[in-house]
Amino acid sequence: MNDPILIATRGSALALAQANAVLAQCRAAFPSLRFELKIIKTTGDKLQTASLAQEGQALPKGLFTKELEVALLRGEADIAVHSLKDLPTELPDGLKLGAVGRRADVRDVMIYRATPVTGGAPTSPRGFPPGLRVALANSAAITTGRTATGTSCAAHGKPV
């Protein structure tokens, strides 16, 4: 029996959603081959409790990708899937960007109902009371716990 093709990924909800989409595409394109996900914890994952963005300091390169790259180079994984936003602009020797998936609709939409908390029906996130916590969703991920400050919300694909 043939060994499975191992797809390395982070364990975050977004990473798993992306990796499972690639897994499904691989299985559909190559039904005679076996594919499995291999979840790898990265430095960025381990630092989730610490503030990653500290004023005046740059984030280390490969914070969310280094361990995936090492697994590929050591032969512990055959391919890796992760967000382009996490991918360094220069890959280590021996690795190549092999594919970029089809992009989903990039527009974000915020749906809410008028309640006493929202103060009626604001026309944009700037109209919400300061400190109100909202959830933003797009086709790739759901991010919760952001504060409606005007910079962390988007409507119709444009920052507000």
- Closest by CA position to 150, among listed 141, 139, 130: 130
The CATH 3.40.190.10 portion of the chain extends over 5-86
User: What pLDDT is attached to residue 29?
Assistant: 94
Check pLDDT > 70 for residue 94. Answer: yes
Query: In the chain, what is the straight-line distance between the N-terminal and C-terminal CA atoms, in Å?
Result: 54
**86 an active-site residue?**
yes
Answer whether 122's CB lies under 8 Å from 129's CB: no
Confidence band of 83 (pLDDT split at 50, 70, 90): confident
User: What pLDDT is attached to residue 115?
Assistant: 60
Confidence band of 131 (pLDDT split at 50, 70, 90): low
Domain 5-86: which CATH class? alpha beta
For residue 92 the two structure tokens come to 């280590």
| Residue among 45, 78, 86, 108 flagged as catalytic | 86
User: What pLDDT is attached to residue 32?
Assistant: 95
pLDDT digit string (tens) for 7-34?
999 998 888 999 999 999 999 999 999 9
